Amino acid sequence: MTTRKPFGPEGWTPAQLGSLAGKTFVITGANAGAGFQATRILLSKGASVVMMNRNADKSAAAIAALKQEFGGDAGVSDVHMDLAVLDSVRKAAAELLEKVPRIDALICNAAIAQVAKQEITVDGFESQLGVNHFGHFLLTGLLFERIEESRGRIVVVGSNAYKMGLKRIQFDDLNFDKRYTAWNSYAQSKLAQMIFAYELQRRIRAAGKNVQVHVCHPGASRTNLLKDTASCFNKVVWAILSRIIAQSAGKGAWPEVMCATQDGLQPESLYGPTKRAQTVGPVDECPLDPVALDRESAARLWTVSEQKTELTWTL
Ligand SMILES: NC(=O)c1ccc[n+]([C@@H]2O[C@H](COP(=O)([O-])OP(=O)(O)OC[C@H]3O[C@@H](n4cnc5c(N)ncnc54)[C@H](OP(=O)(O)O)[C@@H]3O)[C@@H](O)[C@H]2O)c1
């Protein structure tokens, strides 16, 4: 499969960003990892950023660190939101809509990964599918009108895991009640996020609405992603492997910042690091496995997502 390389041999870097003064970005899970680093980049260009975080103490610490770096007037604030609890997402979306008159981009960055044993959220979802997909589906739906009024964007942070695992949405056993594995359930959740994003692109185009949706991945980045959730074995393996194969969390943030700001990005594309099986290297367009563009799964997932989140999203 051929991919375009519009950003040349060095790929996209934050050096290509102009001033973002007057723009408002909303990022989920921004107290750490790629989300925190993306916030730093956006603030450094004068943007306002609202972080939607689940842990009040970590969120306060992140804001304090950012104000220390960028000054007390830096436009960073937070809204409490736990993506694992749909009521929390509804409350957070309402609070956000009160707080910000415009949303230039919503970056769906938060995730949990490789959860060692099956966990079920209060709403009855396998935890990774609940947090990574259903929580973000509901949030995006609730903020969509404001994003549209702002002629804004939606950025979905996927993962190379989408083309691993079972490579399908297991509609007859979404929660993996029969045979749970940490890897397959994480892979399903990231595939679901990406299938949703490309379906949203198509629906927006068909409805003639002015919202861009872009999909990216951070490659392999040294973050806390496996710290709380993975098995001891996977944590040890990743701790060793990440020193050898992974890039910094800072570089892992570049694709999501690019997708939130850069002009000329294409639909049905995936952006991220392009070297060593798309784990590191210059940020540009990556090959996209057709599994993410499967329209039958997309239509079914949309219906299931509306039912499970009790959101009617007419698009
Ligand atoms: N790192 C990699 O190599 C890699 C590879 C492929 C894809 N990704 C993707 O990159 C994105 C960023 O992950 P990261 O690597 O930066 O991991 P990270 O350092 O663990 O950051 C994840 C963020 O999500 C938040 N979060 C988790 N559960 C949440 C919930 N229920 N509600 C709200 N926020 C929640 C975390 O909050 P707490 O601090 O409270 O836990 C944290 O702020 C994710 O979408 C991930 O799937 C990462």
The residue-averaged pLDDT of 183-192 equals 98
Q: Is 186 a catalytic residue?
A: yes
pLDDT band at 224 (very low <50, low <70, confident <90, very high): confident
Higher pLDDT: 228 or 136? It is 136
With the most atoms of ligand 1 within 8 angstroms of its CB, the residue from 224, 235, 254 to mutate is 224
The residue-averaged pLDDT of 2-20 equals 91
The residue-averaged pLDDT of 53-81 equals 98
The residue-averaged pLDDT of 33-52 equals 98
Nearest-5° Cα angle at 47, 90 to 207? 55
| Gap between the Cα atoms of 74 and 51, Å rounded | 13
Model pTM score: 0.98
pLDDT one-digit tens code per residue, 199-216: 999 999 999 999 999 999
Binding site membership of 218 for ligand 1 (Cβ less than 6 Å): yes
Give the C-alpha distances (Å, rounded to integers) separating 43 from 20, 76, 292: 8, 8, 32
Instruction: Tell how far the Cα of 110 is from the centroid of ligand 1, in angstroms.
Output: 4
pLDDT band at 264 (very low <50, low <70, confident <90, very high): very high
The residue-averaged pLDDT of 117-144 equals 98
Query: What residue has token string 């999203």?
Result: 313
**Domain 20-309 indexed as CATH 3.40.190.150:** no
Binding site membership of 213 for ligand 1 (Cβ less than 6 Å): no
Instruction: Tell how far the Cα of 228 is from the centroid of ligand 1, in angstroms.
Output: 11
Do residues 184 and 176 make contact, with C-beta atoms less than 8 angstroms apart?
yes
Give the C-alpha distances (Å, rounded to integers) separating 212 from 68, 115, 268, 291: 33, 31, 11, 21
From the list 115, 263, 104, 289, the residue with the least C-alpha distance to 198 is 289
The residue-averaged pLDDT of 287-301 equals 98
Binding site membership of 84 for ligand 1 (Cβ less than 6 Å): yes
pLDDT band at 2 (very low <50, low <70, confident <90, very high): low
